[in-house]
A and B are shown apart, each in its own frame.
Chain A
Amino acid sequence: MSATTGLPPAARRRSPLARLAWSDYWSAVGLPGLIFVILAFGVPVLVIVVKSLTDPSPANYSAIFDSGIYRQSVGNTVQMALVVTGLCLLLGYPYAYVMARSGRILRTTLMVALMLAFWTSLLVRTYSWQILLNDTGVVNQALMEWLGVVDEPIHMIRTKFAVYVGMVHILLPYSVLALYAQLRAIDPDLERAARGMGARPWQAFWRVTWPLSLPGAVAGSVLVFVLALGFYITPQMLGGAQNIYIGQAIVLQVEEFLKPGVGAAMAVLLFAVVLVVLGIAARFVGLGRILGIGEGRGK
């Protein structure tokens, strides 16, 4: 913008693009990446937006709300995303806390366990849950034959329960990593100081560590919530037909009802909601922290 004033006269005569590229070596190096992102992400988004308005008309947007399936899927999705976010926070906080405060060996073990899950393909993990939770799956077999606790298989697959289990498993690392980065940045002496001033362990945690870890908790939760909103594969494979989520509703519009324009409008709406959620959260904790770049680490 006003960077021109700082440039030598020779640079100022060049075209704006050349100036951008040459004024900073790193922007020149980053240019191919930028072009790729524009082609692979920016253009498709634009195509979808255009499609939602022109295939056949902007009436697509009002059609969304006529669809009972969509209304239902929005309710399901928000509920699922909230439950999954809550569970991730509940399970992830103690995990991250132990990881941040333990010795090297325990920390590495916990980190490796987390990352192994994280790096395993989403498809593989979802299929594994299918195998585990089937009526004839490992869990039911164990309950019936080895432990003899139940006579009939417990119906788990194609229920909300199965979706929650699978989603929490897949999204937990995001909340753990965000919380871990935040907790690591808190000086352990702060809790010691509180203890030395007469605070019981839970008081020291509640008055000092918890408030200081809130930005990490918010960042991790927003990330989990936003990712959960748009999840398709896991709900599709583990959930039941009576409970569909936004992703599935979009696919239905495109593939079953052959109304790609309405599907596109739904996708645009979801995208807008995600942007709004991120925007609101960014006002409180900073976007870099949510996305895991800068800020969250170090101080």
Chain B
Amino acid sequence: MKDTVLQVEDLHVFYGGIHALKGVSLSVPQGTIVALIGANGAGKSTTLRTISGLVRAKRGRISFEGKDITEELPHRIVEMGIAMVPEGRRIFPNLTVMENLLLGAYTRRDSQGLKRDLDWVFTLFPRLKERTWQKGGTLSGGEQQMLAVARALMSRPRLLMMDEPSLGLAPLLVREIFDIIRELCENGVTILLIEQNAKAALEIAHYAYVLETGRIVLEGEGKKLLEDERVRKAYLGEE
């Protein structure tokens, strides 16, 4: 049995008067890819935003490596080792690729390790290395997504949370991104992945949760869910 990195228990979140999460529980074991799939408005992004401290939970508990982080502020959570690739990439368009990457490492103070990790992300994404002085906004969509992932990696996270990394990318690039996610996992980064592209996500996920209107309705190993009839009907568009 692997150690649990992230444990979410009975999470309730309200947006104004709307009960967005109605008791979500999930756990992410060390060194695995866990996927959270579901339709629009199911509460996937809310779950992620609550874990990273951008949204406050009304009830429930989030613990990271055994420590309760439910009430922590976003910058503290980054410092503790959770990084996020936000939905829609959200790179800094008028800053250079290098500045974007250094901002990912904003909470770090070790310049030695920082240099090493810069080299590491450049070996992962050689295309970024050629463009260090280019402004983020001038990159193509796929390159921007890579920059967003690389930027998150610069904080040396022990848990990487990705919100819809395949959004708006051409199919070929989607495959490339998912290959990278798998490679990151093999490199020892634990990943919590949110996807609308259920097929691609379930193919690489060790374990997956299906979210529907704020509740987890189904969970299991990625490959098993892929064969599940309900999942096939609802998310893979099969009859």
| A and B held together in a complex | no
Task: Give B contacts to A, CB under 8 Å.
Answer: none
User: Could you tell me which A residues sit within 8 Å of B by CB distance?
Assistant: none
